[in-house]
Structure 1
């Protein structure tokens, strides 16, 4: 059983209890599957790259961390959920930039600094830190606004890759479409509680597992490191 101050953010949870969110917990297997498929692709290609292995590990860690949060539902498990997600996003962006610049470290640092600056600006304008006046009340977007920087980054990457006809453009485009749909499921979870008792948050997990699988496949197959066959 969970303490009285357990974190209750999603429709499926109705009370304390390790298995009170079975769909939200077990749907995190999608991240483990994505990591295993990516590992298979790396091994089949050969010349395993450290950055790819780190990202695969982070993908699996997302599944584990999210499982812990949807079972223990407390502060430490929330950190276990959030940290791997944003670590994956940050490291994936840096890795893509590094390979897009021909593995030029200086150009990677410069582009990464710009990306960090833009992300900080988006975070600022989409966060509650800029809200003034009375308490805003329940969030109509169910906390999904925090993912706006990821949406913007993926959209920009998609446009650039389509314009340049990059070999990874199909993977990235499908990844963006999947993420937008998954974000919609995350957003409407609480709103649909009265009609769907178990909510829709589990679809966020399933589709995000697919999205991460597509991103990893794009990296492994279409943005290969130097020396890979």
Structure 2
């Protein structure tokens, strides 16, 4: 990919009106929600760690908390620079966090052996990819794709995540796991946030600010709920 391509401007949100750095101030600043989610996660982690008198840190949990903060930083870069290179800074931390969290949640919260956790993780990834592929083929066949590339302003990529979340919540409910309410709440918040991401470009004429900032705000809460679930119920001492 050439340098010129990487520097190409991207304008796919209502709030952006030009290629300027500060053309999306609300979309940029609401990325603080991810930083706050990470700080809340670390605060609870530190409090529980100290309460239990543990002398060694849980590096796997700390990595997840750090990754959550990177989501905010990457998204801030995208909504200020709004170029192809910054879109990678936005997307890579998100999907890295998703992939890492998915495995850690299976291993630490569901609680299988490490080998079985990898097997479940692999099967889950294959199912997610299959669902995403099916959605993509269906949309291409119907010729309903819009500027977002999928008819949903680019939100199709997150639909397998919704399915996986509700599936995970169901598994925890069947097991009567104490974390089931947290995951269900996270799934509901994520569903609502995707709705606001999807309608952003469709409401520009009536609401020029758009609704993408609500995607950020609610996603910050979503990430916070995921981290709290991991910190409270996925710690080694809790198993």
Moved over 4 A (4+): 132-137
Taking the TM superposition and a 5 Å limit, the aligned residue runs for 1:50-89 are 50-89=59-98
SS at match of 2:124: helix
Cα deviation code 1:183-212 (max 9, x no counterpart): 000001011101111100000000000011
Distance in 1 (alpha carbons) for counterparts of 2:188 and 2:82: 29
Match for residue 34 of structure 1 among 10, 32, 37: 37
Match for residue 113 of structure 1 among 106, 122, 127: 122
Distance in 1 (alpha carbons) for counterparts of 2:177 and 2:58: 21
Match of 1:20 in 2: 23
Cα deviation code 1:38-89 (max 9, x no counterpart): 0111111114311111111110000000000000011111001001101111
Answer yes or no: is 1:7 the counterpart of 2:13.
no
Match of 1:222 in 2: 233
TM-score norm. by structure 2 comes to 0.88
Taking the TM superposition and a 5 Å limit, the aligned residue runs for 1:123-134 are 123-127=132-136, 131-132=140-141
* C-alpha deviation, 1:223, in angstroms: 2.5
Pairs aligned (count): 226
5+ residue gaps, structure 2: 1-5
Work out whether residues 169 and 180 of structure 2, in 8 Å CA contact, stay in contact via their aligned partners in 1: yes
Cα deviation code 1:18-46 (max 9, x no counterpart): 10000100000000000001011111111
Higher helix share: 2
Distance in 2 (alpha carbons) for counterparts of 1:165 and 1:228: 16
Which shows bigger deviation, 128-137 or 16-25?
A: 128-137
5+ residue gaps, structure 1: none
* C-alpha deviation, 1:134, in angstroms: 6.5
Answer yes or no: is 1:195 the counterpart of 2:196.
no
SS at match of 1:13: coil
Distance in 2 (alpha carbons) for counterparts of 1:208 and 1:136: 24
Work out whether residues 68 and 223 of structure 2, in 8 Å CA contact, stay in contact via their aligned partners in 1: yes
Match for residue 100 of structure 2 among 81, 91, 94: 91
